[in-house]
Amino acid sequence: MTELALKGAPVDRARLLRLLQDYGVYAGVAVLLLVNIALTPHFLSTENFRTQAVQVAPVLIVALGMALAIGSEGVDLSVGSVMALSTSLLSLYLGYGPWVALIVAMLGGAVIGLANGSLIAFIGVQPIVATLALMVAGRGIALVLLPQLKDVRDPGMSSLGSGDLFGVPYLVLIAAALAIAVGFTVKRTTFGRQLLAIGDSRPAAQLAGLPVRRVLILVYVIAGVLAAIAGVLATARLQASDPTSLGTLMELSAITAVVVGGTPLSGGRIRIGGTVAGAVLIQLLTATLIKHDLPPSWTQIAQAVVIVLAVYAARERGKR
């Protein structure tokens, strides 16, 4: 039976699944907003919205890179470790000036991304295996470089972490600019079209003469650089480098944001707007649980449930 009756009107099930996958994340954000407005004291305060926006910025930036990797029919499990590596490098090179430290941190992310992309493109290692190896190695390197938490005392970093432009925090402006840049890249550039073609069918892309290896390597380099930027921004906000815990389980949050945003794990399609909404959904979900005194572990359980539902909807839609 392919049709359901909803309030007396026939509704196609495949259409419902398509709507759920494409717009369910926006409905989820709306529901969480309404629940918090009704039940959470001071939720509508300006300070609360600023806090939520600042906290969602690193998740969104990492999710943008994850969206590119998933769009190419891959995944990047090393993003949390790249954040840890970037905070270690930032702390070590901050004495040479904030711009030098920032560039070195981004280069660290690019090197990890280059290693990921090379393993996948040239050796044929599955993305989940290659990035898992770099996830372990990246965190280890970060801890070798900086074995323990270290305070970051630099005026430039303080300004980056807590400053704003016309009331909008720098972190939010940077995340928004990167989301626009990645969205433009996916929709309007040759690289974006090649990426989606590779994610849709890599053998067909190779037969068509597309530069598959180059595109895959660039995808993971971009993902690594974005994760490094997220690590720098998180360090600036916290005013401390903590490679032990920074970025922990960030890969789960990023994958959840991308998948619930409508980007299928099978590749060939990327929804940047949905990814932005997915990151907001994850942050609202986390804030809701914390504000109502539920243990942090419930956040991980809730994320797992959300991603299972999103994958189920995508799978059912794919059958039709």
Confidence of residue 6 (pLDDT cuts 50, 70, 90): very low
Would you state the pLDDT for residue 23? 82
Among 142, 96, 155, 174, smallest CA distance to 241 is for: 142
Q: In this structure, what token pair is assigned to residue 58?
A: 């690193």
Phi-psi region of 262 (alpha: psi -120 to 50; beta: other; left: phi over 0): left
What is the arithmetic mean of pLDDT over 12-40? Answer: 83
Among 183, 158, 170, 316, smallest CA distance to 237 is for: 158
Confidence of residue 2 (pLDDT cuts 50, 70, 90): very low
What is the arithmetic mean of pLDDT over 6-27? Answer: 70
pLDDT in tens, 63-77: 999 999 999 999 999
- Cα separation, 298 vs 238, whole angstroms: 23
* Residue 117 in this model has a pLDDT that exceeds 80: yes
97 backbone dihedrals φ, ψ, rounded to 5°:
115, 150
Confidence of residue 42 (pLDDT cuts 50, 70, 90): confident
Mean pLDDT lowest for which of 125-129, 256-260, 275-279?
256-260
* Residue 122 in this model has a pLDDT that exceeds 80: yes
Would you state the pLDDT for residue 4? 46
CA atoms within 13 A on the CB side of 164: 9
Mean pLDDT lowest for which of 170-174, 224-228, 262-266?
262-266
What is the arithmetic mean of pLDDT over 253-281? Answer: 92
Q: CA separation (Å) from 256 to 46, 77, 146, 303, 305? A: 27, 12, 29, 7, 10
What is the arithmetic mean of pLDDT over 123-151? Answer: 94
* Residue 9 in this model has a pLDDT that exceeds 60: no
What is the arithmetic mean of pLDDT over 49-56? Answer: 92
Would you state the pLDDT for residue 312? 73
* Residue 80 in this model has a pLDDT that exceeds 80: yes
Segments making up each domain of the chain, as ranges: 49-247
What does the DSSP 8-state code read for residue 210? -
Residue 63 in contact with residue 257, Cβ under 8 Å?
yes
pLDDT in tens, 142-176: 999 999 889 988 898 999 988 999 989 999 999 99
Would you state the pLDDT for residue 21? 73
Please list the residues that pair with 9 across neighbouring strands: 6
Would you state the pLDDT for residue 302? 79
169 backbone dihedrals φ, ψ, rounded to 5°:
-55, 145
Confidence of residue 40 (pLDDT cuts 50, 70, 90): confident
Residues of the chain with pLDDT > 90, as a percent, come to 65
- Cα separation, 172 vs 50, whole angstroms: 9
- Cα separation, 282 vs 284, whole angstroms: 6
Question: What is 132-188 written as a DSSP string?
Answer: HHHHHHHHHHHHHH--S-EE---HHHHHHHH-EETTEEHHHHHHHHHHHHHHHHHHH
CB count within 10 Å of CB 284 equals 20
- Cα separation, 168 vs 152, whole angstroms: 23
**Element housing 129 (H / E):** helix 127-145
Among 146, 157, 136, smallest CA distance to 232 is for: 157
Please list the residues that pair with 68 across neighbouring strands: none
Q: CA separation (Å) from 211 to 186, 195, 319? A: 16, 10, 30
- Cα separation, 3 vs 263, whole angstroms: 25
Q: Compute the mean pLDDT over every residue in the chain, rounded to the nearest whole number.
A: 89
What is the arithmetic mean of pLDDT over 227-231? Answer: 97
Confidence of residue 43 (pLDDT cuts 50, 70, 90): confident
In three-state secondary structure terms, 240 is strand
What is the arithmetic mean of pLDDT over 112-140? Answer: 95
* Residue 204 in this model has a pLDDT that exceeds 60: yes
